[in-house]
Amino acid sequence: MMVLETGHRFTDLVPSIGIPLTALAAYALYVLGLASYRLFLHPLSKFPGPRLAAVTSWYEAYYEIVLQGQYSKKITELHEQYGPIIRVTPHELHIKDPRFFDDVYAKNPHVMKEGWDKRFGSEHSVMTTVDAALHKRRRAALSPMFSRRSIIDFIHIIHRHIDTLSTRMQEFEAGQQPMNLTLAFPALTGDIIMDYFFGFNNGQLKNPQFESFHEAFMKIGSTGHLATQFPFILPMMNAIPHSITERLQPAAKPLLQFKREMATLIARTLRGESLHSNSAPKTIFHSILASKHLPPTDKTQQRLEDEAQIIIGGGVETTAFALTIASFHIIHTPRIYARLHADLVAAFPNSSSTSSSALDLYALEQLPYLKACIMEAARLSYGLSARNPRTHARELRFREWVIPAGTCIAMSVPEISHDEEIFPDSRSYIPERWLGEPKTADGVPLERFLVSFGRGVRSCLGVNLAWTEMYLTLGMMFRRYRFELFEPDVSDVQMGHDFFIPVTRLDAKGVRAFVRASRD
């Protein structure tokens, strides 16, 4: 019998080496078995796509986490290689076909939406609710506040913020400094949505540097990719004191600050403190509390925190990015500026009365070219760049494929916005493509393919607010001012990363412009 130097006999050590070895072998066997199942026996095994993506979510994780939000770009390349339907994770199919969008999103109101509940640590909000029936109830409680009527009742506050934006523009004109529109717009939309949700705002637009929720929302996206792969991360971050998380992960600081602010505001309101200090007739928060659609379990601190985070998040970056895109291209393309400005001057000839409140929304809505500028910005801003998942209870037919019931199917807005057959020269900003009731080559109204606000029962709830903000902001800007871009760079308005919302390259300085009052 071999005796080791320590005095132990070799056979004494076998059990302690043997247990980890057995566990390792068992794990290897499990992984092998799982991979074989996913490749050969899984209900999605017949669908095309890279074999590695079929075997493991690490494939997605590599593109989303290591390469920072690049899987959507990769998926578009994979469609070139494998066709219009591909398996992009072991459990998910992705479809690229603009004509199938309504089948996935609009035609059946009872579909589930799995996946977004894990992304933000806000699983109880309307947008992240998985279950269709629960979503219906939560949306019904919010819908009246997002009707056209309610937005009109709130419009005097939107006008006030746009007047503040105009005052800030005059300051930059006087100082002959370029104004950073990429930072100014989230401050504008942030103040508006805070006023609508809580009844007060943080004065972000008046802040000299336009400090806003912008940075936090840029971070939410990248954290979301981590949380999708490792769903324990966000609950863990919540469980340990924020000061420790912030020291370990400084990038999470703005996000945690935002979450803390929401939690504090909800707690104060639930304790009976009134935060409602503006002249809005009602707030989203109070209409949720007063809603008869919701049981008490939907009016708890946690549920309301989730709703606040998502509604405020939904209301800030989407509209701000669309405004940034529109502004960049309108300023950068003299033909577009000249036509838009001329229309605005014709509609509002008296330049001394062009404060935002003098720019009547109904009159702005009658200007086809302004509408076309907004539609083109909505197309190129995508709303959300993320794959948008739906799980249908019944099997679905796509061309020659039968998609099994219970499969998670996703499509992506950027792929539709850049379908060259529908939108030729799709990377260019061409408002004219929306003029005169345009149709595709096979006679379908082009508007059907503007899907940036989603479709069906889960489409954007804030669409009326977003359109109102865009009409009034662009109307004010291009009636009252002329601009000159400082160091123009189109990549300041193009997606570099899919962080759920489209985010430009990370070192972008933003769209900056010198401002001058228009003389006519």
Give the integer Cα–Cα distance in Å for 300 and 295: 10
Judged by CB under 6 A, does residue 378 bind ligand HEM? Answer: yes
Give the x-and-dash track for 160-199 against ligand HEM (CB under 6 A). Answer: ---------------------------------x------
Q: Count Cα neighbours of 107 within 13 Å in the Cβ-side half-sphere.
A: 10
Exposed/middle/buried for residue 99 (C-beta within 10 Å: 0-12, 13-18, 19+): middle
Report whether 460 belongs to an annotated binding site. Answer: yes
Judged by CB under 6 A, does residue 245 bind ligand HEM? Answer: no
Which residues within the stretch 314-373 sit at the binding site for ligand HEM (CB under 6 A)?
314-315, 318-319, 322
What DSSP assignment string belongs to 254-322? HHHHHHHHHHHHHHHHHTT-----SS-S--HHHHHHH-SSS-GGGGSHHHHHHHHHHHHHHHHHHHHHH
Of the candidates 184, 323, 165, 193, the residue with the CA atom closest to the CA atom of residue 258: 193
Give the integer Cα–Cα distance in Å for 308 and 46: 42
Shortest-Cβ-distance residue relative to ligand HEM? 462
- Of 214, 458, 480, 512, the one binding ligand HEM by CB under 6 A: 458
What are phi and psi for residue 497, nearest 5 degrees? -140, 140
Residue 145 structure tokens: 């506040």
Q: How far is the CB of 192 from ligand HEM (least distance, A)?
A: 8
Which residues within the stretch 250-269 sit at the binding site for ligand HEM (CB under 6 A)?
none
Residue 379 structure tokens: 């197309």
What DSSP element (H or E) covers 148? helix 148-175
Give the integer Cα–Cα distance in Å for 211 and 192: 15
Judged by CB under 6 A, does residue 157 bind ligand HEM? Answer: no
- Of 388, 407, 412, 417, the one binding ligand HEM by CB under 6 A: 388
What are phi and psi for residue 167, nearest 5 degrees? -60, -40
Judged by CB under 6 A, does residue 104 bind ligand HEM? Answer: no
Q: How far is the CB of 186 from ligand HEM (least distance, A)?
A: 12
Stretch that binds ligand HEM, among 12-20, 245-253, 307-315, 392-400 (CB under 6 A): 307-315
Give the integer Cα–Cα distance in Å for 489 and 502: 17
Which residues within the stretch 272-291 sit at the binding site for ligand HEM (CB under 6 A)?
none
Nearer to ligand HEM, 127 or 165 (CB): 127
- Of 53, 78, 111, 127, the one binding ligand HEM by CB under 6 A: 127
Judged by CB under 6 A, does residue 452 bind ligand HEM? Answer: yes
Nearer to ligand HEM, 153 or 173 (CB): 153
Judged by CB under 6 A, does residue 453 bind ligand HEM? Answer: yes
Nearer to ligand HEM, 314 or 414 (CB): 314
Give me the residues that bind ligand HEM (CB under 6 A), please: 105, 126-127, 139, 193, 311, 314-315, 318-319, 322, 378, 383-384, 388, 452-454, 458-462, 465-466
Give binding residues as ranges. 460
